[in-house]
C-alpha cells in the first residue's frame, strides 16, 4: 500500500475526543464533506480501533474517527517537536485488495501505541522524525509520510468531558 501527497485545502471541521465514549470523532464544517454527500467509503485501521475514512471514488483519506480509550494513551510531559505541516490530501494507492464500501482494511505503523503529550494536547501514533511530508488533511488531523508509506498520525482533539 502506498500513500501519495496531493496539495490542496484541508477539510475544515471539529475533531473531538469524547471521554464518556472513549472515542475520536470528526464533524466536517461543510455539508459537502458529510458522510451522506461524500459517497461510499472504506476504513483504514491504523491503531487498535482508530480508523481513517477513505473515499472510494478517489482513494483520498478524509478524516479520523474511532474508539481510542484514554487508558491506552502513554502520557508524556516532554516537549513535542513536530515538523512544519502543509494542507492537502493523501491518496491511498496499491491496496493489497480492492477496497469496498464499509470495508475496513489495516495498515501498520512502526509504533502503533498512542502517546498523549500533556503540554500540547496532541495524540501521536507512529514516528514523527525524518518525514518526507507532514500533511494536515483535516482540521487538527495530520498524516506523516515517509518513502510512500504511512509513518504517523497526529491528532489534536478538543476533549469533551461528560
Q: pLDDT tens across 85-136, in order?
A: 999 999 998 766 666 666 676 676 767 789 999 999 999 999 999 999 999 9
Total structural domains within the chain: 1
Model confidence, pTM: 0.91
Range of the domain at 46: 2-160
Q: What percent of the chain has pLDDT over 90?
A: 64
Q: How many CA atoms lie within 13 A of 160 on its CB side?
A: 13
Residues in the chain: 162
CA quadruple 77, 62, 143, 83: dihedral sign: negative
Q: Which residues sit opposite 60 in a β-bridge?
A: 91
Amino acid at each position: 500500500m502506498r500513500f501519495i501527497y496531493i496539495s490542496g485545502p484541508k477539510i475544515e471541521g471539529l475533531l473531538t475526543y469524547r471521554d464518556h465514549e472513549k472515542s475520536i470523532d470528526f464533524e466536517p464544517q461543510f455539508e459537502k464533506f458529510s458522510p451522506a454527500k461524500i459517497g461510499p467509503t472504506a476504513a483504514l485501521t491504523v491503531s487498535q480501533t482508530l480508523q481513517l475514512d477513505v473515499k472510494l471514488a478517489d482513494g483520498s483519506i478524509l478524516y479520523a474517527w474511532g474508539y481510542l480509550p484514554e487508558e491506552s494513551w502513554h502520557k508524556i510531559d516532554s516537549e513535542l517537536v513536530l515538523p512544519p505541516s502543509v494542507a492537502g490530501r493523501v491518496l491511498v494507492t496499491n491496496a493489497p485488495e480492492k477496497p469496498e464500501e464499509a470495508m475496513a482494511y489495516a495498515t501498520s505503523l512502526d509504533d502503533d501505541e498512542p502517546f498523549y503529550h500533556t503540554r500540547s494536547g496532541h495524540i501521536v501514533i507512529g514516528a514523527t522524525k525524518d518525514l518526507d511530508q507532514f500533511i494536515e488533511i483535516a482540521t487538527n488531523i495530520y498524516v506523516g509520510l515517509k518513502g510512500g508509506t504511512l509513518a504517523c498520525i497526529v491528532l489534536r482533539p478538543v476533549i469533551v468531558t461528560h
